[in-house]
Amino acid sequence: MMSCGLLNSSNEPVPLRSSSVTVLIRGFVADVSCELLYRNEEQAPVEAVFVFPVDAEAAVYAFQARLGGTCIQAQLREKKLAQEMYGDALAGGQSSFLLQQEGAGGDVFSCSLGNLPPGEEATLTLFYVCELPLEPDGAAHYMLPAVLRPRYTPHGWEGEDVTQGVPRVPQGELPYTLSLSATLQSTHGIDRVLSNCSLSLLNYTAGNRTSAQVSLAEAPPWDRDVELLVYYAEPHKPSTVLEVGLPGAEPGSLMGDPAVMMTLLPSLPEAMPGQSSAGEFIFLLDRSGSMECPMDGRNRSPQRIDSAKETLVLLLKSLPLGCYFNIYSFGSQFESFYPQSVAYTQQTMAKSLQRVQQLQADLGGTEILAPLQAIYRSPCRDGHPRQLFVFTDGEVGNTQEVISEVQRHRGAHRCFSFGIGEGASTALVKGIARAAGGSAEFITGQDRMQPKALQSLKWALQPAVTGISLSWDLPPGLEAALLGRGPEVIFPGQRCLIYAQLRGQPQPPDTAMGGVTLQYRIQDQTYKETLQFPLQPQDGDRLPVHRLAAKSLLLELEGAVDTGSEGDRRRALETSLSSGVVCSLTAYVGVDTERGQPVQGPLVRRDIPLAGFGAAPHMWKMQGFSNTNFNPPMLMCCSASIPTGLDEDLCFASTDCAEDFVFDDYSLYVPERAPEESPLLRLVSLQNADGSWDLDPWLAAALGVSETDTRERMPSKDVPPSVWATVLAVVWLHGRATGQRDEWELLEAKAVGWVQGRAGLRLSECLEAANTLLGCSVGPAVFGL
């Protein structure tokens, strides 16, 4: 029989025709609806299964279908019951649909549409709400996950990972389309919107620029997540949103009472670089095969491993004298530079830099649990708080097991995590940071890893914020119940989000006000931040604040569920069912009971394919693709030998078996090597552990001047050569690398501190001579003059 309609690479019809996303962004909250249009052009009923990524902290709160003109609202049920209801409906010839979270991670969902009759259409719509992170430049960052990479499953792991079974097709050959439109609202005014995809012109729908609309100008490529950066006129203002409860819900329950979301931006004093020499800094680097892929999918962009190595160099140079450090790397096995953390000296730094330069993405799979366990087995050092930095592309199947391991040791360290490349698991990267009081960053597209890592190091170097507490000022008869843990860690420039349920007096007077005070200590100094807010709740059809509050509570409860607490499991189930927010214990299910006759014929399953960019090779069948029309996927690194004639310097994706991979005649994808070492990195690589530079030919070359000039222009023979060299380096940083200040700020502060203790009265002369030699105009304030 001849196939008709849209086909996948196996010549099978694909019933999914389009995905239409509508986003309402209010301040730093996005309320999203995703509409999936299916059409069955076969002659038998179809079951369509679509697996897709979702941000791990998003609250999926509704699911509905339109079948034959009938709109059916799915019901949230305990997962096992929902699966049974779906299966029974299929067996009885009824059309049905199921939405469930796959695994405990929370960042992969599957949507099943069963018994779609021949020739009919169906539209499934899911709804979710998510917080938008505040970027360093003040943008609200919305991301629609579009890339789902196969997750590596460690040897001996008994769980299942649905991503391994998703069919893959080459980029540009997906048989369905994606569109996105966004409505933006902010009382503070909308300045502009940027994206990694082509956008239509921003259309302001209010004269004061408080609302606007924008959409994708064309279908985006499937090799990247879709990102919107929304810039407001006043992004750093604290705010509150008080939302009325769900009509008909029981008073005193989460959904029956008003809920409030408060956004505070504590004005923490910035830690001065060089203030503290205490700390144990452990860097854990992913060296699985997929780390050899380009950062943003372009052939000429740096490989992930090269960008991570450059970041490690900057981090090592920025550490304070007197601290301790170690570097671990992992793949299918793991390695460490030292058996235990070592003191940061010139010798240990130089030795470590040599080893960093030799690191390659050659350790196979992505088994992160074993190195974490080894790190936690090593004893902490008294007086040196442990800070863990994890760099990974986040493609693992045992996410919850990893998060639980970090959670068990949360009292002994902080964890700063970095998700590298498109499709990094938000569940893993955010989960381990949340579990150990750190921060999570994602590096996608043309982002640079270095400034984000150095910002996290600044936070790690700041004195710990302790004694964090909240106090409420509410009218008599009204009380606030915190939802979730509340703020446990505060960093400069970061938002502090608080969710609470307001119980008691149902209708305060129109003029009633409430207040909340956040109090914390830094060393011996106490700080307070107070926010006043009106107690008149806003109406909202979808109750986004309540959904986010429920998700915040579920994230805490599901972490406890994993440790075996039956009470927490029961509370998580109750919270999910009452709020409508899906968790690992629940699923949405709907059944078409309006159709009079059962659907006839044998049911055919169709798995919806995803883009194959960076996919694990055993998902692919390479035969039959043309050289000109097909850009092959990344190959893999494993114990199997590379076929004869293939260059070993290929881009590999993490997996542990290649037996199913079939080679045919096509041009292999060979990524270009990373560009030459940057001028900044050349200079930074020469810095000593104490912050100084030596006056030598390598420094002159890095500065772009002759060695003769560096020696002849030295202002006085009384000036030590290393002092003159260090002044030259600092002037070069300020004069030639201003745009990368975030990357060199810490190591520059170390250099300035070193110079100030040694240059004496000659410092002004050195600065003037350095400006003349390098053609710069750096002011004396840089050196505290």
Report whether pLDDT(277) > 80: no
CA–CA separation, 292 vs 637, rounded Å?
A: 10
Which residue type sits at 299?
N
State how far the alpha carbon of 609 is from the alpha carbons of 17, 63, 187, 479, in Å. Answer: 12, 22, 41, 50
Cβ atoms of residues 653 and 661 within 8 Å: no
Q: Check the CA dihedral 268-485-28-195 and report its sign.
A: positive
509 by DSSP, 3-state: which? Answer: coil
List, for residues 171-182, the tens digit of each pLDDT value. 777 888 999 999
Calculate mean pLDDT across residues 495-511.
82
**CATH 3.40.50.410 spans which residues of the chain?**
280-461
Query: What spatial distance separates the first Cα and last Cα of the chain, rounded to whole Å?
Result: 85
Radius of gyration of the chain (CA): 28
List, for residues 637-671, the tens digit of each pLDDT value. 332 223 333 233 323 233 333 323 332 222 233 34
Report whether pLDDT(673) > 90: no
Cβ atoms of residues 319 and 246 within 8 Å: no
CA–CA separation, 11 vs 15, rounded Å?
A: 13
488 class by beta-carbon count within 10 Å (0-12 exposed, 13-18 middle, 19+ buried): exposed
pLDDT of residue 645: 32
Nearest to 657 by CA among 614, 623, 618: 618
Least confident interval from 250-259, 395-404, 421-430: 395-404
CATH number for the domain formed by residue range(s) 280-461 = 3.40.50.410
Torsion angle of the four alpha carbons 556, 561, 564, 565, in this order, in degrees rounded to the nearest 10: 70
Nearest to 619 by CA among 295, 298, 395, 333: 395
CA–CA separation, 448 vs 430, rounded Å?
A: 19
**Average pLDDT of the chain to the nearest whole number:** 85
713 class by beta-carbon count within 10 Å (0-12 exposed, 13-18 middle, 19+ buried): middle
CA–CA separation, 468 vs 465, rounded Å?
A: 7
Calculate mean pLDDT across residues 610-623.
44
List, for residues 168-214, the tens digit of each pLDDT value. 888 777 888 999 999 999 988 999 999 999 999 999 999 899 999 99
**pTM summary value:** 0.83
